[in-house]
Amino acid sequence: MERFLKSFFYAFKGLAYAFKTQLNFKMHCFSGALIIALGLYLKLSIIEWLWISLAIALVFIVELINTAMEVLVDLVSPQQHPKAGTIKDIAAAAVLVTALLALSIGLLIFVPKLI
Ligand SMILES: Nc1ncnc2c1ncn2[C@@H]1O[C@H](COP(=O)(O)OP(=O)(O)OP(=O)(O)O)[C@@H](O)[C@H]1O
């Protein structure tokens, strides 16, 4: 049980690290909160909430993996190296693709309700 609680503590430490150090992560938290508030206001259906939760969670997951990649790259390659840069660029591209997917889901769900 203690080990189980400790693993939660470490996971929260990871979340806190990403929140403190990554401006993007803070922006995604803010956008996520805004989208949830709008969803409550517009009384989304269960299926719509499923899509929105999936979109929000995916952005967070990929952003967290990107943060871990950045820390790992800085650890193994503190000096500039083209491959280190490429790894960071690819991880950043994964965040971009996920954010675009989340934006499309958001637009498909919210635009028809707002026009
Ligand atoms: N060790 C390195 N070697 C070569 N290029 C690097 C290296 N570190 C970073 N870069 C390049 O600089 C870009 C920005 O790197 P940085 O570490 O600032 O990442 P970031 O995505 O801006 O993260 P942060 O959210 O911490 O600002 C990378 O996408 C990469 O192109």
Give the domains, in start order, of the chain with CATH numbers. Answer: 2-114 (1.10.287.3610)
Instruction: Give the model's pLDDT for residue 34.
Output: 96
In this structure, are residues 54 and 98 in contact, taking their beta carbons and an 8 Å threshold? Answer: no
* pLDDT per residue as tens digits for the range 1-49: 788 888 999 999 999 999 999 999 999 999 999 999 999 999 999 999 9
The CA-based diameter of the chain, rounded to the nearest angstrom, is 52
* CA-nearest residue, atom 8 of ligand 1: 85
Chain centroid to CA 86? 20
* pTM attached to this predicted model: 0.91
| Exposed/middle/buried for residue 110 (C-beta within 10 Å: 0-12, 13-18, 19+) | middle
Task: Assign residue 43 a region (left: φ > 0; alpha: ψ between -120 and 50; beta: otherwise).
Answer: left
| Cα(88) to centroid(ligand 1), Å | 6
* Ligand 1 pocket check for 53: Cβ under 6 Å: no
Report residue 60 as tokens.
């967070």
Percent of the chain whose pLDDT exceeds 90: 94
